[in-house]
């Protein structure tokens, strides 16, 4: 079965005023959709046709001859994950086991937020900031372009898209404002906690 564009888990205007309907129309309806179409075209009639997204990513990671497949497959995964990382009325602070683990591994929630925003701010050009579980320890990382924790043996718990297409219509060049809003108003900590619990 071909890879599918997952429906957004909320209405197009659900994240306003923080992320506009227009941004979601382009980001989900054009960018994410194009990655799905490109991936399906690239794997058609190859041994990767019918493979899961994760198996496809793992199979081609590090293979320069298959960078096009990796980039599109990873971007499909990254965006499907990103939409679940945010929600209307999100932000605030995590609780329970996740909050305790953040305190243990970063020192405090504020220290985590600073590391996460620094990762996003210092990713030159396009990429992603992540909260990952790496060998049992929470870490903040950043990746360029389509790269993702799965290709580095890490488990993704939270991501923030810092490609310009994620924020330019709403924030123009003000990536730091998008990142602060992302953390303070949008993050779905229940989703992050569920990812940790399932790890």
Strand partners, 160: 129
Cβ-based nearer residue to Mn ion, 147 or 161: 161
Q: Which of the stretches 15-23, 34-42, 94-102, 166-174 binds Mn ion when contact is defined by CB under 5 A?
A: 166-174
Q: Which of the stretches 1-9, 35-43, 98-106, 157-165 binds Mn ion when contact is defined by CB under 5 A?
A: 157-165
Asked whether the beta carbons of 69 and 146 are under 8 A apart, the reply is no
Asked whether the beta carbons of 172 and 164 are under 8 A apart, the reply is no
Regarding 147 and contact with Mn ion (CB under 5 A), the answer is no
Regarding 170 and contact with Mn ion (CB under 5 A), the answer is no
Q: Which of the stretches 86-94, 108-116, 123-131, 156-164 binds Mn ion when contact is defined by CB under 5 A?
A: 156-164
Per CB under 5 A, the list member of 112, 130, 163, 182 interacting with Mn ion is 163
Task: Write down the least CB distance from residue 180 to Mn ion, Å.
Answer: 18
Cα 95 to Cα 135: distance, rounded to the nearest angstrom: 22
Regarding 77 and contact with Mn ion (CB under 5 A), the answer is no
Asked whether the beta carbons of 169 and 22 are under 8 A apart, the reply is yes
Strand partners, 117: none
Nearest to 84 by CA among 198, 191, 194, 199: 191
Per CB under 5 A, the list member of 56, 131, 161, 196 interacting with Mn ion is 161
Residue 71 three-state SS: helix
Contact set with Mn ion (CB under 5 A): 161, 163, 166
């Amino acid at each position: 079965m071909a890879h599918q564009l997952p429906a957004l888990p909320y209405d197009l205007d659900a994240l306003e005023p923080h992320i506009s309907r227009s941004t979601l129309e382009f980001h989900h309806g054009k960018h994410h959709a194009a990655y799905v179409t490109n991936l399906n075209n690239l794997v058609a009639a190859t041994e990767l046709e019918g493979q899961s997204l994760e198996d496809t990513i793992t199979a081609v990671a590090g293979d320069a001859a298959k960078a096009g497949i990796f980039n599109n497959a990873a971007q499909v995964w990254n965006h499907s994950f990103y939409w679940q990382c945010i929600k209307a009325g999100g932000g605030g602070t995590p609780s329970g086991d996740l909050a305790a683990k953040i305190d243990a591994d970063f020192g405090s929630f504020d220290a985590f937020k600073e590391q996460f925003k620094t990762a996003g701010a210092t990713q030159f050009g396009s990429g992603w900031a992540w909260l990952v579980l790496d060998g049992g320890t929470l870490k903040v990382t950043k990746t360029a372009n389509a790269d993702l924790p799965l290709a580095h043996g890490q488990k993704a718990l939270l991501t923030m898209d810092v490609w310009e297409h994620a924020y330019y219509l709403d924030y123009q060049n003000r990536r730091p404002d998008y990142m602060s809003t992302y953390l303070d108003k949008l993050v779905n900590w229940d989703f992050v906690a569920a990812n940790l619990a399932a790890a």
